[in-house]
Structure 1
């Protein structure tokens, strides 16, 4: 079975979140709302802070949609705090920064680089049932776009809330959707 449609596997992590350490973040505590697991290779690096800042800039809009964000690297929650305290870009973050020094999350999602101990640059979006609905993995030198992630989340939420409707390429909120049927075959 592919990863899309699979369930979150058990984990237990500690996060740095809004100036505090938060223990007991598990697969059960993230259920009930949409979740973004935003893996990146390491704290104190180069592309990573640009992506995390970009995500921080849309965090309020994501929360308004009922989405929580969990950035994840194989660093500790202590490292996340130190980075947050010293980097102007990272200081903007108000979402959870999970430590994955034991590699449970990176292994659960299949993004741990063998022999390196770092996670790939990967994004997973889970629905309120803990089912993985979206996946994006890029090479280390290619940063992600938070605006495109937001668009995809809106499409996934729409699809879940409107059975029988699907969102075509470049779909934006409020645009027309499709109702798959035999009448559409070969006519799009």
Structure 2
């Protein structure tokens, strides 16, 4: 069942960010755009490449009013240890959420039960706490954060222009569509 259009379910989790431990709940997603990025585990192979790519887009995302939350089934303590011991992860400025109870993984339907790990899931959440976009990849397929930035720009555009839609490969400033009877069969 798709989570698109559904409000994020309640949760409470511990996280690590910039040398501090903090608590994160679904209320943190409200009033701003958020991206929740699940990955299988700390101290692995594809995961640090994805998180570094996401960090490379973090300033652009912040300028767009987006906060990033990365999540794995590791603890917030493990996130700190990884942050302290990896040059790549040491660059991370966004929130790293621990989900050892699997509550978030179950809420977002990305838990690989037999392994106790998360699928590679990306969720775009609007300021009302409602999921607007979902991407889930197999564990051996890394994601591209530049594509995520484009999708968020499109989601923000249609939220601000509800009578328009963004076509495939839409880029900021390019032409949109206005759904209506006059477009049926003409695209």
Calculate the TM-score normalised by the size of structure 1.
0.98
Q: Which runs of 4+ in 1 moved over 4 A?
A: none
Where 1:107 maps in the other structure, the secondary structure is helix
Match of residue 104 from structure 1: 103
Unaligned runs of 5+ in 1: none
Structure 2: distance between partners of 1:11 and 1:96: 15
Distance 1:64 1:81 in 2: 26
Residue 70 of structure 1 corresponds to which residue in structure 2? 69
Taking the aligned partners of 2:129 and 2:29, their CA distance within structure 1 comes to 8
State the aligned residue count.
187
What is aligned with 2:44? 45
In the alignment, the residues of structure 2 paired with residue 113 and residue 180 of structure 1 have an alpha-carbon distance, to the nearest angstrom, of: 39
Alpha-carbon distance in structure 2 between the residues aligned to 1:183 and 1:164: 14
Q: How does 1:31-180 map to 2 (within 5 A)?
A: 31-180=30-179
> Match of 1:20?
20
Partner of 2:185: 186
TM-score, structure 2 as length reference: 0.98
Q: Within 2, Cα distance between the matches of 1:2 and 1:73?
A: 21
Give the whole-Å Cα distance in 2 for the aligned partners of 1:66 and 1:136.
20
CA distance in 2, matches of 1:141, 1:151: 23
